[in-house]
């Protein structure tokens, strides 16, 4: 497969062709799941991390593996279990009896894309090992600090239906995931295609489409996407409404939200809108881009009250009502 030009001097048309080539290459393996692929691209183009939630068998792991192959990125998969240790992720010091000294053995986190599979199966001490990596893009081992490669992404999966042997993720860690993506069952025609491919077609060979230099050029182009003052004000209002619904005539939501979204949510929503617009071939963001990504940015940042749980009100319901109640300036 010919690699489209996407270097620092590439034209906007060439950059958009690179995005289209990434999507097409992933589509050779993954049937449907276009919202998931678009959001992975949003996270890549904004240098952020993603939490993916869905029942087993929806190709979450396969999508992440294919994504890394298309990007010509180094990849590792860490299966999270209750007995996992922080050193199993970051690495540790190993004593060398020949030299009589300790040497650093780097863990599987030293790659471009880390698949943290079933991340909610490991306790908090393991999750803490990811915090420095996710926020600072570095790891501390034995008093030394080691930089992680660029790009670096944590793509984590979790199963929403199994509660035995799982742990709730710390709020501080959840806040560092730009998006929480919910993966649903495929439609009938997509499932028919999946079955046909499994029975009748050989596994396709995936060729890299872009590399680190091209990704840097794409990220630079995303930062240039226009997001005007009116849209910035809309994003601020939307995030503020999660903390003070009454200010936007949504008094009935106030008892349902214990804690609203942090300022990081506003930044992620703005950057995400820029990237989403770019993925869809535009050099300006719109309120529709914000509305499209708002559930993914906000759903894991709202801490619901006991009253919300008693009324079976979900974060999805609240975000939908906030989007309906907060007007566009």
Tokens of 143: 């008093």
Judged by DSSP in three states, 109 sits in coil
In sequence order, the 6+-apart residues with CB closer than 8 A to the CB of 153 are 43, 44, 47, 48, 49, 50, 112, 113, 114
Whether residues 264 and 196 share a domain: the answer is: no
High-pLDDT (> 90) share of the chain, %: 25
Whether residues 46 and 165 share a domain: the answer is: yes
pTM: 0.86
Q: Which residues pair with 52 in a beta bridge?
A: 157, 181
The answer to whether residue 1 sits within a structural domain is no
Q: What is the pLDDT of residues 110-163, one digit of tens each?
A: 999 999 988 888 888 888 888 888 888 888 887 788 889 888 999 998 887 666
The answer to whether residue 220 sits within a structural domain is no
Closest of 71, 7, 69 to residue 43, by C-alpha: 71
The answer to whether residue 37 sits within a structural domain is yes
Tokens of 325: 């109640």
pLDDT at 5: 43
What residues make up the domain containing 139? Answer: 12-214
Name which of 33-47, 87-101, 233-247 the model is least confident about: 87-101
Cα(259)–Cα(300) distance, rounded to whole angstroms? 11
Q: How far is CA 191 from the centre of its chain?
A: 25
CATH code of the domain covering residue 25: 3.40.50.300
Last residue of a domain, one of 149, 182, 214: 214
Q: Which residues pair with 103 in a beta bridge?
A: 94
pLDDT at 9: 62
Cα(155)–Cα(133) distance, rounded to whole angstroms? 13
């Amino acid at each position: 497969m010919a690699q489209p030009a996407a270097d620092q001097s590439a034209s906007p048309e060439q950059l958009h062709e690179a995005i289209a080539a990434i999507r097409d290459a992933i589509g050779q393996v993954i049937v449907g799941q276009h919202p998931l692929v678009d959001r992975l691209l949003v996270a890549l183009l904004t240098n952020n991390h993603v939490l993916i939630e869905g029942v087993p068998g929806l190709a979450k792991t396969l999508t992440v593996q294919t994504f890394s192959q298309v990007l010509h990125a180094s990849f590792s998969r860490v299966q999270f279990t209750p007995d996992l240790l922080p050193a199993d992720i970051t690495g540790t010091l190993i004593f060398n009896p020949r030299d009589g000294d300790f040497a650093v053995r780097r863990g599987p986190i030293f790659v471009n894309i880390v698949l943290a599979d079933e991340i909610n199966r490991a306790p908090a001490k393991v999750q803490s090992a990811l915090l420095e990596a996710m926020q600072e893009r570095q790891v501390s081992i034995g008093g030394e600090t080691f930089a992680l490669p660029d790009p670096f992404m944590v793509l984590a999966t979790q199963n929403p239906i199994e509660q035995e042997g799982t742990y709730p993720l710390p709020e501080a860690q959840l806040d560092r995931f730009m998006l929480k993506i919910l993966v649903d069952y495929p439609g009938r025609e997509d499932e028919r295609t999946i079955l046909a491919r499994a029975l009748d077609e050989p596994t396709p060979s995936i060729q890299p489409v872009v590399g680190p230099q091209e990704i840097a050029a794409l990220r630079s182009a995303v930062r240039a996407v226009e997001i005007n003052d009116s849209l910035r004000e809309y994003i601020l209002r939307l995030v503020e409404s999660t903390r003070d619904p009454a200010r936007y005539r949504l008094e009935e939501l106030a008892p349902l939200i214990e804690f609203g979204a942090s300022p990081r949510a506003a930044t992620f929503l703005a950057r995400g809108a820029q990237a989403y617009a770019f993925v869809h071939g535009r050099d300006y963001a719109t309120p529709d881009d914000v509305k499209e990504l708002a559930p993914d940015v906000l759903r894991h940042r709202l801490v619901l009250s006991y009253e919300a749980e008693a009324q079976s009100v979900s974060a999805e319901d609240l975000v939908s009502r906030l989007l309906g109640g907060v007007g566009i300036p």
